[in-house]
Amino acid sequence: MTTAVAAALTLRGFGVSPGRRVGVVARMPDAPPAPSPEPVAPGSDLGAAAAAVDHAAAQVRDALARAAEAATGEAADILAVTAAMAADPSLADEARRRVLETRVSPARAVWDAAELVAEQLRGLGGMFADRARDVQDVRDRIVAELLGLRAPGVPDPGHPFVLVARDLAPADTARLDPSTVRAIVTAGGGPTAHTAILARSLGIPCVVAVGGALDIVDGETVLVDGSTGEVVRHPSAEAIERASHARPRPTRLEHPGATADGHHVALLANVGDPAGAVAAADAGAEGVGLFRTEFGFLGRTAPPGIAEQVAAYTRVFAAFPGRRVVIRTLDAGADKPLPFVTADDEPNPALGVRGLRTSWSHPQVLDDQLAAIAQAAASSEAEVWVMAPMVATADEADAFVDRCSAHGLAQAGIMVEVPAAALRAGDLLESARFASLGTNDLTQYAMAADRELAGLAQLSTPWQPAVLSLVRLACAGGSARDRPVGVCGEAAADPVLAPVLVGLGVSSLSMTARALPDVGAVLASVTLDECRALAALALAQRTADGARSAVRAGLPVLDELGL
């Protein structure tokens, strides 16, 4: 049977970035095979061979660092982390030892050394296990450099295409070009994995954890629906025609967020650096609901000084004069280990010393950051709010508010990422002035499901009724204290989920800037009472799929918007 006459076949995964696109497939090439284990020829200069490892690792590190400097937001953060991994001396040290002691080629030495490091990370489990994929990506790049081959990465067929892959390394995802990549389909990944987050930030429709994705071949035509999670192989001519003539998606929010009856819902942006703040302002964001400050700390062996932090924060605040900017203090730990505040031997870093907990043993890092925020805020016209990540108890909330007050920062709040904080939000918000729900971690902890694992993707969704119940409880706690509760996790970027969150009591939604117009359009189509009815409908369902399907059926505007 030829492709031209093959019957349509629908594969299903998890839609993580909305939009409907059709295109010709280009498969992500598999990783290079393992180099030969044969020893180098007698008389070879082993010293020069060992030095070649250092040179290749440095070349890869510098290339990734340059890419990080040219990128913005999430992409810059991810590339910086990967560059730091390439600079980690443990991999090169082990590879050099193998060259000198076992006489294997530099490429084979790097291959074996990387596998050793990756195996150690997998043995630690949790977030450390997720880094094993990054080690393999760095390995492939160093091996390619040593062998004079093109570095692994996204294919370039010379025309727009649908990218199909087993999974994407963070460094590959961070450099996707939305002008040529029409959609993404992966066999691995989950709703809150790096691929999903970056696809949304780039506006590329994406479906992850697709069963049968690896059966799709180069040159095949597929239709990808990033909203429903469907991938149609051999779509009909009619389906292709409809997708090809879909209305272009708006790229800018033209009006403040509000329901059809005028209930204001602040539509804010998540940003990771000054360039991202400027882009968010240009996209019409009403403010910043999550300013991630890790960009100034990643890839360093010591924290930046106060003056350096002041300069960076001032540039972000300047993009939003007179508007709210919620800045999050350092969220180190778990998948963002930093040598000056986190240990490298935690057995389960996702449940370890991360976020605000790092200040227990390194208080000066937090105090310096609060001092820098205060100085930058004093010279800015922005309305600066400060929040701490990974707050679990009322004692922690009280202590953070006191430390902010000591620096003259009155608007001090907390992130609700731990189920305990959602359950007792009223206690935490007695002192904290506001709360922001980090739905990625809240979902991960509530469902005991690593968000990066494709096999757990069906659990790792904020549509889980249990997660929605936690959101409702957190909002109720905020209402009891007359404190606003927003959402800054990836759930805020889902235009189908947005009215449900508003119906549960959420007062603001912060997301990747690309998602602002879609979310705004859906909210403008429903009244506050209809949002509450949709929230009740979602909570009444037994399953995540049931909740999403029921809400989609109650939002006819989605078809009109191509969502």
DSSP notation for 26-57: EEPPPPPPPPP-PBPPTT--HHHHHHHHHHHH
Q: How far apart are CA 492 and CA 559, in angstroms?
A: 20
Q: Quick one: average pLDDT of 164-189?
A: 86
State yes or no: pLDDT of 3 exceeds 60. Answer: no
Question: For residue 98, is pLDDT > 60?
Answer: yes
State the average pLDDT over residues 42-56.
Answer: 89
Domain ranges of the chain: 3-27+154-244, 46-147, 266-561
Alpha helices, DSSP H only, in 327-393?
A: 358-361, 363-378
Q: What is the pLDDT of residue 258?
A: 98
pLDDT tier at 136 (50, 70, 90 boundaries)? confident
pLDDT at position 128: 56
Statement: 3-27+154-244 belongs to CATH 3.40.33.10: no
Indicate the SS3 state at residue 351. helix
Q: What is the pLDDT of residue 4?
A: 44
Query: How does pLDDT run across 406-427, given as a tens digit for each residue?
Result: 999 999 999 999 999 999 999 9
Angle, CA of 377, 381 and 385, to the nearest 5°: 50
User: Which DSSP helix (H) or strand (E) runs through 243?
Assistant: helix 237-244
Weakest mean pLDDT among 153-157, 167-171, 203-207: 167-171
Buried b (16+ CB within 10 A) or exposed e, 304-325: bebeebbbbbbbbbbbbeebbb
Q: What are the residues facing 164 on neighbouring strands?
A: 27, 185
Those residues with Cβ within 8 angstroms of residue 265's Cβ, 6 or more apart along the chain or in another chain? 257, 258, 259, 502, 506, 507, 508, 509, 523
| Distance, first Cα to last Cα, the chain | 33
**42 pLDDT above the threshold of 50:** yes
In the predicted structure, residue 129 carries a pLDDT above the cut 80: no
Q: How far is CA 122 from CA 110, 125, 126, in A?
A: 18, 5, 8
Give CA–CA dist 374/406, Å, rounded. Answer: 10
Please enumerate in sequence order all residues whose Cβ is within 8 A of that of 88, keeping only pairs 6 or more positions apart, or say none: none
What tokens appear for 419 in the block?
Answer: 């189920």
Question: For 281-330, how does the pLDDT look when each residue is reduced to its tens digit (9 = 90+)?
Answer: 999 999 999 999 988 887 677 889 999 999 999 999 999 999 999 999 99
The model's pLDDT over 454-493, given as tens digits with 9 standing for 90+, comes to 678 789 899 999 999 999 999 999 999 999 999 998 899 9
Predicted local confidence at residue 30, as pLDDT: 73
- Spatial contact of 214 and 194, defined as CB atoms under 8 Å apart: no
Tell me how far apart the alpha carbons of residues 433 and 488 are, in angstroms, rounded to a whole number.
16
Is residue 346 over pLDDT 80? Answer: no
- Strand pairing partners for 415? 436
Total residues found in the chain within this entry = 563
Return the pLDDT at 60.
87
Q: Identity (one letter) of the amino acid at 515?
A: A
Query: Which pLDDT band, with edges at 50, 70 and 90, does 337 fall under?
Result: low
Report the pLDDT value the prediction gives residue 334, as an integer from 0 to 100. Answer: 59
Residues 488 and 495: their CA atoms lie apart, in Å, by 14
In CATH terms, is domain 46-147 a member of 1.10.274.10? yes
**Which percentage of the chain shows pLDDT scores above 70?**
92
Tell me what pLDDT residue 192 has: 66
Check residue 407 and give its pLDDT: 97
Q: 110-114, 201-205, 274-278, 305-309: which has the highest mean pLDDT?
A: 305-309
Q: Residue 336: pLDDT above 90?
A: no
Residue 2 in this model has a pLDDT that exceeds 50: no
Q: Please tell me the pTM assigned to this model.
A: 0.76
- Residue 118 has a pLDDT of 79
Distance CA 232, CA 217 (A): 13
Q: What is the DSSP letter of 295?
A: G
CA distances from 36 to 101, 143, 428 (A): 17, 12, 58
Average pLDDT over residues 98-102: 90
Question: Across the chain, what does the average pLDDT equal?
Answer: 88
Could you write out the DSSP letters of every residue in 378-429? HT--SEEEEEESS--SHHHHHHHHHHHHHTT---EEEEE-SHHHHHTHHHHT
Question: Above 60 in pLDDT, residue 531?
Answer: yes
353: left (phi over 0), alpha (psi -120 to 50) or beta: beta
Whether 335 shows a pLDDT value over 80: the answer reads no
Does CATH place domain 266-561 in 3.30.390.30?
Answer: no
User: What is the 8-class DSSP label of residue 4?
Assistant: G
The 8-class DSSP code of residue 11 comes to: E
Region 515-538: what's the mean pLDDT? 97
Helix 194-202 crosses helix 73-87 at what angle (to 10 degrees)? 140
CA dihedral of 165, 167, 172, 175, whole degrees rounded to 10: 70
Residues 223, 244 contacting (CB under 8 angstroms):
no
DSSP designation for 187: S
Query: Cβ distance 383 to 358 under 8 Å?
Result: no
The alpha carbon of 561 is separated from its chain's Cα centroid by a whole number of angstroms, namely 25
* Tokens linked to 423: 């359950």
Region of poorest pLDDT, from 89-93, 245-249, 446-450, 526-530: 245-249
Instruction: Quick: pLDDT tens for 218-247.
Output: 999 999 998 889 999 999 998 888 887 767
Q: Which residue has 């091996």 as its token pair?
A: 143
What residues are annotated to the active site?
194, 488
Asked if residue 212 lies in contact with residue 480, where contact means CB atoms within 8 angstroms, the answer is: no
Q: Is the pLDDT of residue 193 over 90?
A: no
348: helix, strand or coil: coil
Q: State the Cα–Cα distance between residues 512 and 192, nearest whole angstrom.
A: 13
Three-class SS state of 129:
helix
Tell me the one-letter amino acid at 138.
Answer: V
Backbone CA torsion sign across 401, 405, 407, 412: positive
